[in-house]
Amino acid sequence: MKPANNRRTIPREYACALATALPLQALLRSQPDLAGQPLAVVAGEGTRAILAHASRAARALGAVPGMTPSQARSVAPGVLLRPVAPPVIAAARQALVDAALAFSPEVDACDADAVVLDVRGTRGRYPTPEALGCALEAACARAGLRVRVGIARGPRLARIAARARAGVTVLPPGDEAAALADLPIDALDLSPALADTLGHLGLRTVGDLARIDPRGLGIRLGPEGMDRHRLARGIDESVITPLPPSESFEEAVALEWTLDRLDSLVFLLSAALDRLSARLEGRGMAPAALRLDLDLDPEGTHTVPVRPPAPTTDLRSLLALIRLALEADPPPGPIRGFTLRAEGGRVAGGQGHLFGPPVPPPSRLALLMGRLGALAGPDGVGAPVVLDDAGSDSASLAPFAPRALPETRSPVPPAPGRAGPAAPPLALRRLRPPLEVAVRLRAGRPAEVQGSGPAGPVARAAGPWFAEVRWWAERPEAGACWDVEVTGRGLYRLWQDLRSGRWFVDGQYD
């Protein structure tokens, strides 16, 4: 007995999201300050350059697609003519795919400006196709793209519906022919030859083609005609080829001018970071690492890596980290564009214990770590670690990720003979960097500390404890450690470098 195939019992349903004038939208997406201005996208170069897309404001001035740049300037001197770099268009296209992936794992980028997704089985979340279409439209808007959405039983029908009308268009199942009847016949994406033939036959609308008797149609119009006839009658048995989910998230901005101020760059980065974060959020991820490639003028690239302490969706912290990184490693020249790449990471989940002491929930902790990292630097936040290596800094930082405990621990009583809570151990307050001082010796032992800081006669001293640091190195360091009590100043730890004879105050017993 064949196992039941649930997918075959669910009616087919596809949605198409079409971003009209995608290059223009990509340009506005990367440079939001151009919104509302008479703007036209120029395709091609030199004598072959023409206006490929024009904004509503540009059209109102008379600059329309198909014009040459000189023609456009003559009719509309105020129109802004901009080429759009391929990485900018690619980023917009990928953003469209990412928005669609939030609705279905099966997404096909069928055209340069549209995606088709298999939305079977989404009825539980979106009760009606219109609700699904509106949600998809909103998701694309959050990604910075205005789209038309078509929903139908087949992917090709969905594309036709999306191209036909603005907004959300749903072809009712079983009634597609009637819904398409009034559309011009060009909506069926005809080849020039077939379009010519149908024109000669007097067929102007999709309904005209659908009403033709299919017998003998193949002989007169060929396979393409047969295919379009079935489409006009609402029959679409095609399938999509889902894309493998991309793990590359990047946003690109190409400028007509050069930037040499950090504030201006950060302003553009803020918008790019917002778009990136929205795309990652749609996939259930947050930026775990960033890489900023700055395109220098006239040529060259300057790369700045940024790694937050933990994957976080807090844009303010991420932007602060980027700013810190740029201030620490500024570009060597003016910038004419950039590409911001993000590596997605999942905000760590965790399960606390009902009766145990509270630990910071991972999502809140990631946010906190991001904000603290923006204040102290990404390497300035974590859990302290004592390195078991006298040859290096004994203090280091590890990622702060406390485990949830099943119960609150009781204080462990001290071992017999050991100090307990009544006599806590003296803590050392370190001086970083150590403070150099001069020490007068008597009989080889410190007698007086001179210089800035804890100057004064030494009442008592203990030591020396010798240490050899980095003994494996070609030139190991060696020194002696002393505990001294400076009269009236307190207890200090001194370090004497035996090679140079210099003395340092390592810390104060505080």
Q: Strand 445-450 vs strand 456-469: parallel, antiparallel, or unpaired?
A: antiparallel
Q: Which of 142, 372, 453, 457 contacts other proteins by CB under 8 A?
A: 372
How far apart, in whole angstroms, are the C-alpha atoms of residue 432 and residue 449?
19
Of the pair 354, 423, the CB lying nearest other proteins is at 423
Task: Indicate whether 508 belongs to the interface with other proteins (CB under 8 A).
Answer: yes
Of the pair 7, 440, the CB lying nearest other proteins is at 440
Task: Indicate whether 357 belongs to the interface with other proteins (CB under 8 A).
Answer: yes
Q: Which of 74, 358, 438, 440 contacts other proteins by CB under 8 A?
A: 358
Q: Which of 463, 472, 503, 505 contacts other proteins by CB under 8 A?
A: 463
Task: Indicate whether 362 belongs to the interface with other proteins (CB under 8 A).
Answer: no
Task: Indicate whether 60 belongs to the interface with other proteins (CB under 8 A).
Answer: no
Amino acid making up residue 4: A
Q: Is the dihedral of CA 381, 384, 387, 393 positive or negative?
A: positive
Could you say which residues in the range 470-489 bind other proteins, by CB under 8 A?
471, 475-481, 483, 485, 488-489
CB of 382 to other proteins, least distance (A): 6
CB of 58 to other proteins, least distance (A): 46
How far apart, in whole angstroms, are the C-alpha atoms of residue 151 and residue 100?
13
SS3 letters for 273-338?
A: HHHHHHHHHHCCCEEEEEEEEEEECCCCEEEEEECCCCCCCCHHHHHHHHHHHHHHCCCCCCEEEE
**Do residues 90 and 97 make contact, with C-beta atoms less than 8 angstroms apart?**
no
**Do residues 129 and 122 make contact, with C-beta atoms less than 8 angstroms apart?**
no
**184: which strand partners?**
205
Q: Which of 395, 438, 441, 455 contacts other proteins by CB under 8 A?
A: 395
Task: Indicate whether 407 belongs to the interface with other proteins (CB under 8 A).
Answer: yes
- Find, among 261, 325, 262, 17, the residue nearest to 147 by Cα: 17
Task: Indicate whether 466 belongs to the interface with other proteins (CB under 8 A).
Answer: yes
- Find, among 150, 105, 112, the residue nearest to 129 by Cα: 150
Q: Which of 428, 441, 447, 449 contacts other proteins by CB under 8 A?
A: 428
Q: Of the listed pieces 76-84, 187-195, 219-227, 373-381, which binds other proteins according to CB under 8 A?
A: 373-381
Task: Indicate whether 384 belongs to the interface with other proteins (CB under 8 A).
Answer: yes
Site string for other proteins, 304-343 (x = CB under 8 A): ----------------------------------------
How far apart, in whole angstroms, are the C-alpha atoms of residue 156 and residue 16?
9
- Find, among 10, 26, 5, 18, the residue nearest to 272 by Cα: 26
Task: Indicate whether 469 belongs to the interface with other proteins (CB under 8 A).
Answer: yes
Of the pair 132, 320, the CB lying nearest other proteins is at 320
CA angle 345, 348, 352 (to 5 degrees): 175
CB of 72 to other proteins, least distance (A): 51
Q: How many residues bind other proteins (CB under 8 A)?
A: 95
Task: Indicate whether 423 belongs to the interface with other proteins (CB under 8 A).
Answer: yes
